[in-house]
Structure 1
Amino acid sequence: MTDATQPRPDRVVLMNPGPVMTDDRVRTALSGPDLCHREPEFSELLTRVRHKTTLAVGGDERHTSVILTGSGTSAVEAAISSAVPDGGGLLVVDNGHYGERFQHIAAAHGIRTHRLGLGWATPVDPAAVAAALAADPGLTHMGLVHHETSSGMLNDVSALTRIAHEHGRTVILDAVSSVGAERLSLAEDGVDWLAGSANKCLEGAPGLAFVSTSRTAFEGLAAAPRRGYYLDLHRHYTAQEKAVAPAFTPGIPAYYAFEAALDLALAEGSVARHARYTALALQLRAGLEEIGLELLLQPAHRAASLTAVSLPEGMAFGELHRGLRAEGFVIYSAQEQLAQDWFRLSTMGRMTAEDVDRFLAALSGLMRDGA
């Protein structure tokens, strides 16, 4: 580790799970020219971003993507409210805060659900999922979070999607915190509806989200219920695919940045980015354990981009946050039932091994000073 007495770094290292530190080329792209969204130049940009997004999520010629101006949650809500038919139902696989959010979104739209509450930081039992689907044929869809960032839990998308399909159900996947970092393929994993964000592990700027699925599924929304207006996926798909224009005024600077980020992601490749994120996470986790802190999950269940770690003995999160912020690091609190004893550290974005070393030195110094 580097010496904690070195001068404070010039940049602030974001260890929160989005927004993330971005490449200089992404930040530069934000200052692109002013542009009317009804002009051909934006139509061309929209078409490129949709295509590159589909490639980034592992889609093929059967698939496409719709881009939304909003946070990742807007994409999840758009998928749930648009895809579940009248008279349908949603099995919510809930092992954390964002699984619980599936439940709240469905309830807001009057969609019937069965909530398979497994408990926070609890691995999903495939047999329980199969039993829940078998017991209620009216559950037409299954909602699943890939990376449950409340705990850092990575759920097995491929295995659980296979179970859903064996029971004739459609999968809606919250991949907001996983796409770009984890092994995930819309085509190979058989995911039916995938909701993601331009930020987080795709390393774009905040402000854009997307839903990816087959062209056939998007076309099928013509007969689906209209539960909302702004988040009606059929409205967005029709505008973007047929008119090659946005349904509403988009966040144009975020599009410039997202295209730059997608170019970087596609050039790096999903395997290499997963390896980069994994190496940083392993470096961080080894250092945390070396200074005596406990990690929440067993190694087999940990995502590549976030670590839930115990608070140092005798130190509240607010004190820890202030001390590390003064050293140039932003950390993230745990949520709800985990907040008293744990905090979270992301290794998303353009973080480096040197950043991790400096962080561990700063944290170790604070723990010594507080002892």
Structure 2
Amino acid sequence: MTAFPDPELGEPYLLTPGPLTTSAEVKQAMLRDWGSWDGDFRAMTAEVRRRLLEIAGDTAGAYDCVPLQGSGSYCVEAMLGSFVPRDGKVLVLANGAYGLRAAETMRYLGRAFTLIDKGDYLPPRGAEVAQALAADPAITHVLAIHCETSSGILNPIPEIAEATAQAGRKLLIDSMSAFGAVPLDVRDLQVEAFVSSANKCIEGVPGFGFVIARKETLAGAKGNSHSLALDLHAQWATMEKTGQWRYTPPTHVVAAFVKALEMHRAEGGAPARLARYTRNRDTMVAGMRALGFETLLADSWLSPIIVTFFCPADPAFAFPRFYELMKDRGFIIYPGKLTVVDSFRIGCIGRMDDTVMNRVVTAAQQSLADMGVASAVPPASALAERANLAA
């Protein structure tokens, strides 16, 4: 593995679920300009599509990969707008901000949906999905979030997929922060389509996402989309015919992603990346708990992507000050995204290993000392709220 960034050189670690800390090699790949219609760039696009299908396990050639300009939310909207018929209905499974954002997307699209909202602490389960589908024959699709990064929950996709398939409905997955590390193999799951992004577990930079979908789904999506720019059928048809993106592609980002894919394969693919991220999580969580911090979630639902911690009850603790002290020590963390309790998040993904995570814990300890925080134990009310909502 290449050397990790050095905070003393002015580049802090991004302890976030993307954008994240990238390698020097990925950054170096962006120093050349590419012509978007040139044959060399078309070859890069083809390589990206091919390698992503390999990671997804598409050995039968039943799926295709469609890159799309923009952030991950662009791809989620494109997937919903292109693959859900205008008279279709989606069961949206939410347990955090990104499931709720998908529901908001459905409202903007003006298409029918129903929502299972589990709150911040628990995942949607297969039995709940089966019950909802049995109760509403109008539902045509189920949308699940693979890793809900607002809380850090890793949702039980296999049981959700099984319930969806048994009911004869179609599964769509937002695997934005999980694909490339957490298993998602189309040979094991009956999934219609899923989306992810360049700046997550593959460790590229922001600028595009991608949709991996059944070819028959892509072919049948003509005329469904509400949007010119987010029409996945049109993007796919153009790439199949010309090898080009329909509109100006993020050329430098694609070049960086090709390098990131090379490094992903060299590390040992998704299993090796999952193992590193898991070590990162376990090292960091153990160290933070030793300081008195408490995780929002039980261990069984902790993802290897990002972990949410309660803010300490100590009146000397203020998250904005803690954030700045951590940044001064070379680590950018994330504020909480929960509505119920005060919290913050620390990401486990990116170009870093467990030795870096030990330094994170040390930085947290020093920052608490600078603030005069005697204990990082959370408020009793937060723990009681967690117990009540998780019951």
Give the TM-score range, shorter chain.
Answer: over 0.9
The residue that corresponds to 2:47 in the other structure is 48
Q: Contact conserved, 1:181 with 1:305, CA < 8 A, in 2?
A: no
Q: Alpha carbons of 1:68 and 1:8: their partners in 2 closer, same or farther (altered >3 Å)?
A: closer
Kept after mapping to 1: 8 A contact 2:75/2:195: yes
User: Residues 77 and 231 of structure 1 are in contact (CA less than 8 Å); yes or no, is this contact kept in structure 2?
Assistant: yes
Q: 1:8 to 1:73 in 2, by over 3 A?
A: closer
Distance of aligned partners of 1:343 and 1:37 in 2 relative to their CA distance in 1, 3 Å threshold: same
Aligned counterparts of 2:225 and 2:82: Cα–Cα separation in 1: 7
Between the aligned partners of 2:214 and 2:25, the Cα distance in structure 1 is 31
Report the alpha carbon displacement of residue 158 of structure 1 after superposing the two structures with TM. Answer: 1.2
Cα distance in 2 for residues equivalent to 1:341 and 1:52: 40
Residues 62 and 215, structure 2, Cα contact 8 Å, conserved in 1: yes
Letter matched to residue 35 of structure 2: C
Alpha-carbon distance between aligned partners in 1 of 2:115 and 2:85, rounded to the nearest angstrom:
18
What's the CA shift for 1:203? Answer: 0.2
**SS state of the match for residue 168, structure 2?**
coil
**1:323 and 2:325 matched:** yes
Query: Structure 2: which 5+ residue stretches go unaligned?
Result: 1-5, 374-391
The aligned runs of 1:85-234 (5 Å cut-off) are 85-222=85-222, 224-234=223-233
Moved more, 181-190 or 228-237: 181-190
- 2:149 touches 2:305 (CA, 8 Å); kept in 1? no
Offset, 1:8: 6.7
Aligned residue in 2 for 1:82: 82
**Corresponding position: 1:250 with 2:252:** no
Moved more, 292-301 or 213-222: 213-222
* Deviations, residues 231-274 of structure 1 (Å, cap 9, x unaligned): 00011000111221111110000010011111111232211111
Preserved contact between residue 77 and residue 230 of structure 2 (Cα < 8 Å): yes
* 2:350 aligned residue: 349
TM-score normalised per structure 1 = 0.94
Report SS of the residue matched to 2:339.
Answer: helix
Contact 1:149 1:177 in 2 (8 A): yes
Q: Separation in 2 of the partners of 1:35 and 1:9?
A: 32
Q: Is the 8 A contact 2:7 2:13 kept in 1?
A: no
Shift of 1:228: 0.9
Query: CA offset at residue 166 of structure 1?
Result: 0.6
Whether the aligned pair in 1 keeps the contact of 2:69 and 2:207 (CA below 8 Å) is yes
Q: Which letter does structure 2 place at the counterpart of 1:131?
A: Q
Could you say which residue in structure 2 is the equivalent of 1:3? none
The letter for the 2-side match of 1:321 is Y
Count of residues in Structure 1 that have an aligned counterpart in Structure 2: 362
For residue 262 of structure 1, what is the aligned residue in structure 2? 261
Specify the alignment match of 1:4 in structure 2: none
**What displacement does 1:86 show?**
2.2
Kept in 2, the 8 Å contact 1:89–1:113? The answer is yes
State TM-score, norm by structure 2.
Answer: 0.90
AA paired with 1:316? A
Residues 13 and 328 in structure 1, CA contact (< 8 A), matched pair in contact too: yes
CA-based RMSD of the aligned residues comes to 1.5
In 2, distance between residues paired with 1:276 and 1:189?
Answer: 24
> 1:88 corresponds to which letter in structure 2?
G
Q: 1:202·1:265 contact (CA, 8 Å) conserved in 2?
A: yes
